[in-house]
Amino acid sequence: MITFQENIVNMQPNIDFIKEMKEAGGDTLKKCFQCATCSVVCPLSTDANPFPRRQMLFAQWGLKDKLIGDPSILLCHQCGDCTAYCPRGARPGDVMGAVRAAAYKHYGWPSFLANLASSGQNLPVLLAIPAAVVFIMWLISGSHVPAAKDFVDIGYSQFFGHWDFKMLPKTTFFIDFFMIPTFLLSLFGAFKGVTAMWKKMTENAGLGEPLCQPSPIQFVKEFLWPSVQEIVRHDRFKQCEANQNRVRGHQPLMWAFIGLLFVTGYSFFAQDFLGQFIEGLHGPMSMWNPVKIVANVAAISLIAGAAILWGNRSQMEDEGKAVSTFYDWFLIWMIMAVGVTGLGAEVLRLLGIPGLGYIAYYLHLVSVMMLFLYMPYTKFAHLVYRTFAMAFERYRESAYVKNHCY
């Protein structure tokens, strides 16, 4: 028989947290009557950690501190097995997703962006911020739409205008001017959030003492890197039964982002550094350039993966297996926008249609900026939070902890 050691009498439910979970898709949490069916079918569940039964109870009680510091919440892949077998329609998978949304909002830095990205009511503002930044940059750059006869050759290399300083093209300078700070803000926000989450997890597990902390090298080698390998292989996703389409959608997305990360890194290095010494690196790449091929394959893979997830999510909602939430849809919309506008801009360049091409490229820059800017606060944040939760799981169960902390 499973018992809970917490002193229930002294626990004060967080009513605001319960409301927050309900608004994020966990409105069915009160239907749970602790039958444990969800824990029987969930591959994450163990005798010591009856997931998600224990977490559903904590959610009903509104125990925010225990839930947002529980690595199991982030290890959940929301595969849908628990929801499919729940006899009460409590949809534990959606409740766990709502808890993750609340955790990303709680750990988000700066807090005003985290609050902004947590609600669909703020969608106009979420769109307006990057749209205004890119449009203002375009206006002050003095750029103009090129003639059709020049467009195929110069492409978007003069989207933000042209100057005679060949070591750094004007367009490259302008894109760096707003994209690099956006990326660094996102990176720092993710770092702040993960650091706070790790602190909360160690406190909840009783591992907060300095002697329990491994060295950075040991942490990466023994805990973080194996977790990254597991994520790339999609080991836990493949254990899900009810929703295998999510595996087929996530894998092409993962490889697409890896490919686009390589292409972006190469382009940044080639244009900002090598381009100062080698002419010809600032214009459009040849369609047969290996880097260009990787970029196109990654873009197609990005669209295909997003389309699979889009269709899968729609089907689950139509069948009553999931509830429509801004938290789930916002990321799908952003990913699809990045892929469609990027590929569309290239096709329009090849067709020699500069007017529509510039609009598509503008929307592409806006969608990429959105993806960067809101990464730590949306469902995309699981990219970092889940990785470190997996690392924590390995750390908590390791010989290092047994030898140094107990």
Q: Is the pLDDT at 275 greater than 50, yes or no?
A: yes
Query: What is the reported pLDDT for 47?
Result: 84
Q: Is the pLDDT at 4 greater than 60, yes or no?
A: no
Query: What is the reported pLDDT for 386?
Result: 93
Question: Of 130, 189, 161, 162, whose CA–CA distance to 341 is shortest?
Answer: 130
Query: What is the reported pLDDT for 279?
Result: 64
C-alpha distances in Å from residue 8, one per residue of 18, 80, 324: 17, 30, 33
Query: What is the reported pLDDT for 282?
Result: 62
Q: In this predicted model, what pLDDT tens digit does every residue of 35-57 receive, in sequence order?
A: 999 999 988 888 888 899 999 99
Q: How confident is the model at residue 280 (pLDDT cuts 50, 70, 90)?
A: low
What percentage of the chain carries pLDDT values higher than 70? 92
Own/partner contacts of 249-252, CB < 8 Å, gap of 24 or more, are 249/305, 249/306, 249/308, 249/309, 249/312, 250/305, 250/309, 251/305, 252/301, 252/302, 252/304, 252/305, 252/308
Q: Is the pLDDT at 346 greater than 60, yes or no?
A: yes
Q: How far apart are alpha carbons 303 and 336 in whole angstroms?
A: 6
| Chain centroid, CA 38 distance in Å | 26
Q: How far apart are alpha carbons 341 and 130 in whole angstroms?
A: 15
Q: Cβ-count burial of 121 within 10 angstroms (0-12 exposed, 13-18 middle, 19+ buried)?
A: exposed
Q: In this predicted model, what pLDDT tens digit does every residue of 348-384 receive, in sequence order?
A: 999 999 999 999 999 999 999 999 999 999 999 998 9
How high does pLDDT run on average in the chain? 88
Query: What is the reported pLDDT for 11?
Result: 66
Q: In this predicted model, what pLDDT tens digit does every residue of 131-173 receive, in sequence order?
A: 999 999 999 998 889 999 889 888 898 999 988 877 778 898 9
For residue 152, count other CB atoms closer than 10 A to its CB. Answer: 16
Which of 30-34, 75-79, 172-176 shows the lowest per-residue confidence on average (mean pLDDT)? Answer: 75-79
Query: What is the reported pLDDT for 12?
Result: 73
**In 3-state terms, what secondary structure has residue 144?**
coil
Q: Is the pLDDT at 5 greater than 60, yes or no?
A: no
Q: In this predicted model, what pLDDT tens digit does every residue of 214-259 receive, in sequence order?
A: 889 999 999 999 999 988 887 777 766 666 666 677 888 888 999 9
Q: Using only C-alpha atoms, what is the Rg of the chain? A: 23
Q: In this predicted model, what pLDDT tens digit does every residue of 168-190 receive, in sequence order?
A: 788 989 999 999 999 999 999 99
To which H or E segment does residue 233 belong? helix 225-233
Query: What is the reported pLDDT for 206?
Result: 87
Angle subtended at Cα 401 by Cα 395 and Cα 406, rounded to the nearest 5 degrees = 150
C-alpha distances in Å from residue 260, one per residue of 266, 299, 302, 336: 10, 8, 9, 14
Q: In this predicted model, what pLDDT tens digit does every residue of 292-336 receive, in sequence order?
A: 899 999 999 999 999 998 998 898 888 777 778 898 899 999 999
pTM of the model as a whole: 0.88
Q: How far apart are alpha carbons 240 and 58 in whole angstroms?
A: 24
Q: Is the pLDDT at 277 greater than 70, yes or no?
A: no
To which H or E segment does residue 232 belong? helix 225-233
Q: How far apart are alpha carbons 162 and 171 in whole angstroms?
A: 7
Q: Is the pLDDT at 211 greater than 90, yes or no?
A: no
Query: What is the reported pLDDT for 208?
Result: 77
Q: Is the pLDDT at 2 greater than 60, yes or no?
A: no
Query: What is the reported pLDDT for 8?
Result: 47
Alpha helices in 22-167 (DSSP H): 37-41, 53-61, 64-68, 71-75, 81-85, 92-107, 111-116, 123-141, 148-154
Domain boundaries, the chain: 8-107, 111-404
Where do we find the tokens 């909360």?
A: 200
Contacts of 180 (CB under 8 A, 6+ apart): none
